[in-house]
Amino acid sequence: MTIPEAKCGVYTPVQLGIRITNNTQSFFYFSSYVYSMFPEMIPPDSQVMVTGLHSERLNKPLESDYVLVVPGETVTFSRDAFLFWIQNWKKKRDRQLTLNIPFPSEDIYAFRPLYPGTYQFRFKYCEYREGMEEYYHWIEPTILQTILQNLWTGEVLTPFVEIRLVES
């Protein structure tokens, strides 16, 4: 990817996502909720980057965050991320190249500062039933019960993909 010009409003779109195939004989729900898909990025120096999760409010899970996948079918959860420069308001000339990964719930995962080089990127998908019983405040109880009974649980790491950042 070409690093965008260091100007306000200039960015490079990045398509990221996770594809899940139900290879079982059972129907399962998979979650696209922000806390189920955690992005991980490793820069050229091989130290896992710490990401910030920016949230304007406590985002409740919605029924639409849980997708039913029939046996043999595939679902893709895509994220329209973007690469841009963020400016330090106190030091106007101090800018950091940033990768933002927004979620529909208005939460944003952010990686910064970024530099030219080759990065490794993946998603960690985690879903567990513990604590979900409290979702009845936001999801109708009979629907929530159906989701809980058919929810795929566990943790999976997607394969790393290379992201090369180059200057124009």
Q: According to the model, what pLDDT value does residue 121 have?
A: 95
Q: Write down the pTM of the prediction.
A: 0.82
What DSSP state is assigned to residue 129? -
User: Tell me: the pLDDT tens digits for 135-152?
Assistant: 878 888 899 899 999 999
Residue type for position 99: L
Find where tokens 């980057």 sit.
49
Kindly tell me the burial class for residue 88, based on how many C-beta atoms sit within 10 Å of its own C-beta (0-12, 13-18, 19 or more).
Answer: exposed
pLDDT for 92 equals 58
Provide the pLDDT confidence category of residue 37 given band limits of 50, 70 and 90. confident
- Given a contact cutoff of 8 angstroms between Cβ atoms, the answer to whether 40 and 109 are in contact is no
pLDDT digit string (tens) for 96-130? 899 999 876 667 888 989 999 999 999 999 998 88
The string of DSSP codes covering 19-82 is EEE--SSS-EEEE--TTTEEEEEE-TT-PPPPPEEE-SS-PPP-GGGEEEE-TT-EEEEEEEEE
Residues 75-87 pLDDT 10s: 998 888 999 998 7
* 44-92 pLDDT, tens digit each: 987 888 777 666 555 677 888 899 999 999 999 888 899 999 876 666 5
Q: Compute the distance between CA of residue 133 and CA of residue 156 in angstroms, rounded to an integer.
A: 23
Residues 123, 145: Cα–Cα separation, whole Å: 27
